[in-house]
Chains A and B, each alone.
Chain A
Amino acid sequence: MTRSLPLLLALGLASACKGSPPLSPTDRPEGPRVVSLQPNATEILFALGAGPNVVGATRYCNHPDEARAVPRVGGILDVSLEAVLAARPDIVVGSPSVLRGHLGDLLDASGIRQVPVVFETADDVEPGIRAIGTAIGRGEAAEALAASYRTDLATLAGRAHRDPPLTVLLVVGRNPLVVAARSSYLGDLLARMGVANVASSDTMPYPTWSLEQAIRSAPDVIVDGAVEAGDLAALLADAGLSAARDGRVIRVRDEALLRPGPGTGRAALDLADEIRRVAADLPTRP
């Protein structure tokens, strides 16, 4: 084994040193080759009709369904620099924190354009759509998409309002119980639709709650936005929450609600309508 090690090593090195083949004409989509390091950005790229231009994406980029077929370049924090460069992008879209540092230096040295975009709030989506659309040469489509998004957000205003407002608990994690507070992106959507968020923290966007806190909050409606499996309604019903006992728990089915993106407005409108529906029989508090 020791004697054959150098030969095995040489064979291994020889087979590995071929590098990536040159791009053929069919590999070149119309428009720039784009690597997306954010699921929100991937969603926007596909919404702009630039799906064929996306040559690399994170393993969390699963919306729309076609995005699942895009070659992966790692995660959000664990981006593979080699995989990004191997995709031979013209443009890399990502958050400023990811594009900063070693990845940003390598992209600069490669002459690859970087488009930093932030998607922390609902208000970040419109500029994000425009920045991406401009970068890939689809400015008109971006304006149309941004206008549609703006209309959806405007329609959302007060959509589920009652007087006094319905109180809502929005859960994003079951174990431990993590809720969306007012200072979060989801909390902002609840505020726009005219309901009162029982999680009133202004400093922590997604605080961890005890069941006791959930019981004391006594919400009119519970929204289950947790991605992990489990029966939140049964858990909270056992804990004595009347909203859970009386069937006023809404399971979020559209993941577009859970992160800022072009589908956020439509998903939030659906949620507002669902809140109104489940709370329709709830007597108005004095």
Chain B
Amino acid sequence: MGLVSRHRIPAFFAALAVLLVASVLSSLALGATPLDLLGALTGDAASDRLVLLRERLPRTLLAAIVGASLSTSGLVFQAVLSNPLADPYVIGVAGGAALGGSLALVLPGIALLGHAGVSAAAFLGGLGAVALTWRLSRDRRGRMRTYEVLLVGVVFNTIASAAIMFLKSVVRAEKAQEMLLWLMGTLSSDVRSPGAILGTLAVALFAMGLLFASAPALNALAMGEEDAAAVGVDPARTTRRVFLAGSLLVAAAVSVAGMIGFVGLIVPHAVRALVGSDHRVTIPGSALLGAAFLVLADLLTRLMFPVFETEAPVGVLTALIGGPAFIWLLKRGGDRP
């Protein structure tokens, strides 16, 4: 059980909703430069209106979707792999998406498609990596072996990282810099058309819906496969469904924002510390808190612009904040999935 008692769970969700709304409003109102919010909304300040509707709004929406996706996928991977260090990238999907996106940035034909091509290649690369991990980590009866998933995922990520480093060493300096920025995780790329946002949202909602529907089964799996089977849960089928839905979330997130780290590790731990391990609560809780966390982290990168004359990639900030926060949670005697 977490810090929040059972009968206060509705208040917990209300607080998360308020936090998310406050984060979104702050992200729209604040940024690298002052903005006349009223003028932007009424149309009196044309330039500010453009900044609000064409820059801050799509970026905020993407941050919320990506944050929710990474947090939720991290939570369920920690559950099915029974490993509190599992994050969205551990199963190889990150390596595959990163390699796909990197190839798209440097290969002449695909590079012409711009960031749409990069996103598509990253999405396909991520799913391809998941398929490979899945295939290589099954036993003769087709059941997924969790330790092999982790091993294959880690090895695949290592191979993908080596391939990416090779690409960076042979391309022109400007291309290498472009690759580096994307790999660090950023919400300031050109991927913010209504189509891209709606597409990412659709994938995220579909996958999260699948996961929420699997919450009771995940709770049963936490008791062990035999006990879960005794209450009518098919462990292999549940694991497969959760694995694939979680992978969809990660592939979608990486395809639009690159490799934003630590969100999928720290947010699930924070949620479990607050409300325990009931997946019917932690899945939506992780989604809400992850969305707010990334929206605020992205806002922070924009607020830093006057100081550093650049908006640091948000993945850098999530690591700098998430790392110490994770250690603090661990020292507090955190939780287990």
> Which residues from chain A sit less than 8 Å from chain B, CB to CB?
2, 5-6, 9, 12-13, 16-20, 59, 72, 74-78, 80-83, 85-86, 88, 100-102, 105-106, 109-110, 204-206, 208
Contacts and interface: CB of A to CB of B under 8 A. Distances in A.
Contact of A80 (B46, B177, B181, B305): B305
Contacts of B115: 101
B172 A206 contact: yes
B35 A59 contact: no
A13 B30 CA distance: 7
A-B pairs with lowest CB-CB distance, top 8: A19-B36, A86-B33, A17-B37, A101-B190, A72-B309, A82-B32, A59-B309, A82-B33
B188 interface: yes
B311 A74 contact: yes
28 contacts: A9-B22, A9-B25, A13-B25, A13-B30, A19-B35, A20-B33, A20-B48, A59-B310, A75-B309, A75-B310, A76-B177, A77-B181, A78-B311, A80-B302, A80-B311, A81-B55, A82-B31, A82-B32, A82-B33, A82-B56, A82-B305, A85-B51, A88-B47, A100-B114, A102-B190, A106-B55, A110-B47, A208-B169
A105 B34 CA distance: 21
Interface in B232-283: none
Contact of A13 (B26, B36, B50, B169): B26
A18 B54 contact: no
Given A82-B56, A208-B169, 9 more contacts: A17-B37, A19-B39, A19-B48, A77-B178, A80-B305, A83-B33, A85-B47, A86-B34, A102-B192
Contacts of B309: 59, 72, 74-75
Contacts of B188: 78
B311 A205 contact: no
Contacts of B34: 16-20, 86
B226 to A, nearest CB: 43
Nearest to B38: A17
B35 A109 contact: no
Nearest to A107: B50
A78 B40 CA distance: 24
Nearest to B302: A82
A70 to B, nearest CB: 11
Contacts, number: 108
Nearest to A178: B173
B45 interface: yes
Interface residues of B, number: 43
A285 B214 CA distance: 80
B29 interface: yes
Interface centre among B170, B173, B311 (most CB of A within 10 A): B311
B141 to A, nearest CB: 49
Contacts of B40: 19
Contacts of A74: 305, 309-311
A109 B54 contact: yes
Contacts of A102: 54, 190, 192
Nearest to A111: B46
Interface centre among B39, B55, B170 (most CB of A within 10 A): B55
Contacts of B51: 81-82, 85
A222 B37 CA distance: 57
Contacts of B173: 206
A218 to B, nearest CB: 25
A16 B29 contact: yes
Given A13-B25, A75-B310, A82-B31, A19 B45 contact: yes
A5 B26 CA distance: 12
Nearest to A173: B173
A173 to B, nearest CB: 9
A105 B35 CA distance: 20
B172 A205 contact: yes
Contacts of A106: 50, 54-55
Contact of B32 (A2, A9, A80): A80
B32 to A, nearest CB: 4
Contacts of B48: 19-20
Contacts of A17: 29, 34-38
Nearest to A59: B309
B165 to A, nearest CB: 13
A101 B114 contact: yes
B50 A85 contact: yes
Contacts of A83: 32-33, 305
Interface centre among B188, B190, B310 (most CB of A within 10 A): B310
B235 to A, nearest CB: 41
Contacts of A77: 174, 177-178, 181
Nearest to A9: B22
Contacts of B310: 59, 74-75, 78, 80
Contact of A12 (B15, B26, B38, B178): B26
A111 to B, nearest CB: 9
A282 B186 CA distance: 53
A227 B206 CA distance: 51
Interface centre among A5, A78, A101, A109 (most CB of B within 10 A): A78
A166 B36 CA distance: 62
A44 to B, nearest CB: 20
B52 to A, nearest CB: 10
B26 to A, nearest CB: 7
